[in-house]
Amino acid sequence: MTFTLAKPQVQRFFHSGISWQQFKSIESGFANSPGIRLFYDRGELEILSTSPEHELFKSIIGYLITTFLIQQGIKFFPTGSMTQQREGEISLQADESYCLNELKPIPDLSIEVVFTSGNISKLPRYQALGVTEVWFWEDGLFTLYHLRDNDYERIYRSELFPNLDFDLLTRCVLMNSINEAVAAFVPVK
C-alpha cells in the first residue's frame, strides 16, 4: 500500500525590508514554536507552518537515509532541521540535513520536503551557505543538485552516496508502513 500525496494547507507569511537584527528578534520569539519555520534572505523574511503530512514524509525520509548511512558504515551526524546561516545574510532550516565525517555549522546534505514551499527557488540560499548537495522531495519524486564552481548542477545520482538507489528509496518513502519501508529498503542479510 502507498500514500496518496495531497497538498495540505500551510500558512505562509512574507515580509520585506527586515534587518538581520529584526529577524533575530522575530526568530527568538518563535524559539519554542514547533511546526513553525523561519527563512531569511538578505532582508526578505518567510514564516511558514508545516503540516502533519510534511512532518510525516520528512521523518520517513530521514529515517531511511539514516538507516542507509548506518548500513553503509558512513560516519555522519544527523542535524535535522538545524538552523543554517551566514551572519547578516541568510538563515534557513532544511527539513533534514546531514554532516559527513564531522559535525559542522553547514551540513554536507540538506533535504527539502516540498508541499507548498521550499522548491528549487531556495537553491541560491543553499549556494550562499555552500551546502554540497540539496535534495528536493516533491510530488513523490526526488530531484538532486550538487554544488560545483559556486552553482548547482542537476544530478541523477547522489555524488555523496553513489550506492544509494533512488528508485528504491522513492518506493519505500511512499509505502504506508515505516516497518515495511525499512524491511524493503534494508533487507535482512
Question: pLDDT digit string (tens) for 108-143?
Answer: 999 998 876 556 778 999 999 999 999 999 888 999
Q: Which backbone phi and psi does 76 adopt, to 5 degrees?
A: -150, 165
| 66 within domain boundaries | yes
Q: Mark 153-171 as b/e (b = at least 16 C-beta within 10 Å).
A: eeeeebebbeebeeeebee
| 44 within domain boundaries | no
- 169 three-class SS: helix
Structural domain span for residue 112: 52-185
**C-alpha distances in Å from residue 60, one per residue of 3, 86, 102, 132:** 12, 29, 24, 22
CATH number at 90 reads 3.90.1570.20
**Which residue(s) pair with 39 in the sheet?**
46
CA distance 164 to 70: 12
Proportion of the chain above pLDDT 70, given as a percent: 90
| 26 within domain boundaries | no
- 3 three-class SS: coil
Average pLDDT over residues 152-177: 94
pTM of the model: 0.84
Q: How many domains does the chain have?
A: 1
pLDDT tens digit sequence for 46-81: 887 777 787 889 899 999 999 999 999 999 999 988
| 122 within domain boundaries | yes
Is the distance from CB of 51 to CB of 76 less than 8 angstroms? no
